[in-house]
């Protein structure tokens, strides 16, 4: 997590991102003889790999069009990328909103936002200290941090900001309701965590 926080380029961010994901995957499956724990860590692994594909595609596009992976250098060339369109499968798409959306797919998987939220409640199959670590200090906050760190990019992608806002509202509201009907204490904490992450996404 420290590598993500202190990174000044997208390569370091991605390496830290993958190390956090790998560590969390192994910790969730700590009780490796327990079938439910194995299913939970497999679910977390698959969902986060989906997010990683989005993140990796976004980083590749950043390098291709800006010729740098450094945050500050990328932010300096952002004004030159505003009017660039690319064609994908016959559709013309604005470059910066597309990059923003791909990066947010990675963030939403890591921070358990709808529709990539369902891995987090099952991650409570790990020991309680591990669940507390994942929910409070490491994995789930990484996505929110990345979006905040890349705010100059998102400021130029207004309709992606609208998408992020609606996803955050939906996550906060629905997961708060789901938490109210849970009987298991750890799952109540999991769903309330997702709800609070939704509030953070809105902010």
Of these ranges, 37-46, 82-91, 93-102, the one predicted with the greatest mean pLDDT is 93-102
Number of domains, the chain: 1
Please report, rounded to a whole number, the percentage of residues in the chain having pLDDT higher than 70.
Answer: 97
Distance of CA 135 to the CA centre of its chain: 13
Assigned domain for 93 exists: yes
pLDDT of 137 reads 65
Mean pLDDT value across residues 39-47: 84
Q: Which residues contact 153 (CB under 8 A, 6 or more apart)?
A: 74, 75, 78, 96, 99, 100, 103
Is 163 a residue whose pLDDT tops 70? yes
Contact criterion met (CB below 8 Å) for 66 and 81: yes
The answer to the question of residue 69 being in a domain is: yes
Residue partners of 115: CB distance under 8 A and separation at least 6:
none
Is 188 inside a domain boundary?
A: no
- Digit-coded pLDDT (tens) for 103-156: 999 999 888 888 888 888 877 766 777 777 776 667 788 888 888 899 899 988
* Locus of tokens 């799952």: 187
Rounded distance, CA 111 to CA 130, Å?
Answer: 16
Distance between CA 125 and CA 98 in Å, rounded?
36
Q: Please state whether the predicted TM-score (pTM) of the whole model is above 0.85.
A: yes
Residue 36 lies in a domain: yes
Identify the domain containing residue 64 by its residue range.
2-153
Asked whether residue 16 is assigned to any structural domain, the reply reads yes
Residue pLDDT, tens place only, 17-36: 888 888 777 777 777 777 87
Is 115 part of a structural domain of the chain?
A: yes
């Amino acid at each position: 997590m420290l590598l993500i926080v202190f990174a000044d380029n997208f390569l370091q961010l991605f390496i830290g991102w993958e190390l956090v994901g790998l560590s969390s995957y192994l910790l969730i499956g700590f009780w490796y003889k327990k079938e439910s724990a194995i299913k939970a860590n497999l679910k977390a692994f698959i969902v986060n790999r989906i997010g990683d594909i989005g993140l990796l595609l976004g980083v590749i596009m950043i390098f291709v069009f800006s010729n740098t992976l450094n945050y500050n250098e990328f932010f300096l060339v952002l004004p030159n990328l505003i009017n660039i369109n690319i064609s994908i499968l016959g559709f013309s798409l604005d470059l910066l909103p597309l990059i923003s959306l791909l990066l947010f797919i990675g963030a939403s998987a890591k921070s358990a936002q709808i529709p990539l939220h369902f891995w987090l409640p099952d991650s409570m199959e790990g020991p309680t200290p591990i669940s507390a670590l994942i929910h409070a200090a490491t994995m789930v906050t990484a996505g929110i941090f990345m979006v905040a760190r890349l705010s100059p990019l998102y400021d130029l992608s207004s309709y992606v900001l609208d998408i992020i806002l609606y996803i955050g509202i939906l996550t906060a509201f629905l997961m708060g309701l789901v938490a109210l009907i849970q009987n298991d204490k750890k799952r109540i904490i999991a769903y309330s965590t997702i709800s609070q992450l939704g509030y953070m996404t809105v902010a």
